[in-house]
Amino acid sequence: MTVHVQPPRAESCPALVLNADYRPLSYYPLSVWCWQDAIKAVFLDRVNIVSEYDTTVRSPSFEMRLPSVVCLKTYVQPTRNPAFTRFNVFLRDRFTCQYCGAREDLTFDHLIPRSKGGLTTWENVVAACSPCNLRKGDHLPRDVEMWPRQMPFAPSLQDLHRNGRLFPPNFLHESWLDYLYWDSELEP
């Protein structure tokens, strides 16, 4: 099937993916699909279209508005514990070096260096800028008097969601807003 897209460009039309309970599959990173994956899921009858863009795709025998919000027909059980990933470490530490507060050139540092038996775990890894990481090297924090602003810990999903709200995605379509912040406190 050949698809012709009208302006605005379809590449700028991702679809927010909601679980069957109308909550995003994930907040950080936000669960979105490219328009091609969203249309494929519609044709495979895996999702319902909740909202649409004004942008249309066409083939010789078919025309469809691009979905902006889709909802899975089958509920997917969310994970209970966040995955230990570089992104989630940075999110837990609010994309800030835990030694100096810098926000650029981030990497991660082992409090107890691996050369001294330290493990790569939530409780031993912090976000650090490259200069601080190089300065600390393979020393213990007490040896170089470099203490993290916040001691590392295994975050809950709620911890990551709370921190993630401080860093909204670059693109939020207005049709998504009704589904992103259901658990926010209401103003009196």
Q: Note the pLDDT tens digit of each residue in 59-84.
A: 899 899 999 999 999 999 988 889 99
Cβ-Cβ contacts under 8 Å for 51 (sequence gap 6 or more) = 67, 68, 69, 175
Radius of gyration of the chain (CA): 21
Contacts of 56 (CB under 8 A, 6+ apart): 5, 6, 63, 64, 65, 66
User: Are 182 and 23 within 8 A, CB to CB?
Assistant: yes
pLDDT at 8: 46
Quick one: average pLDDT of 167-180?
Answer: 77
Q: How many CA atoms lie within 13 A of 22 on its CB side?
A: 10
Give tens-digit pLDDT for 7-24: 345 568 999 999 999 988
pLDDT digit string, tens, across residues 38-57: 999 999 999 999 999 999 99
Q: What is the pLDDT of residues 127-161, one digit of tens each?
A: 999 999 999 999 999 999 999 999 999 999 889 88
* H helices present in the chain, as ranges: 35-43, 86-92, 130-136, 141-144, 157-164, 177-180
Residue with the bigger pLDDT between 96 and 31: it is: 96
**Dmax over Cα atoms in the chain, in whole Å?**
71
Among 90, 152, 94, 97, CA closest to 130: 97
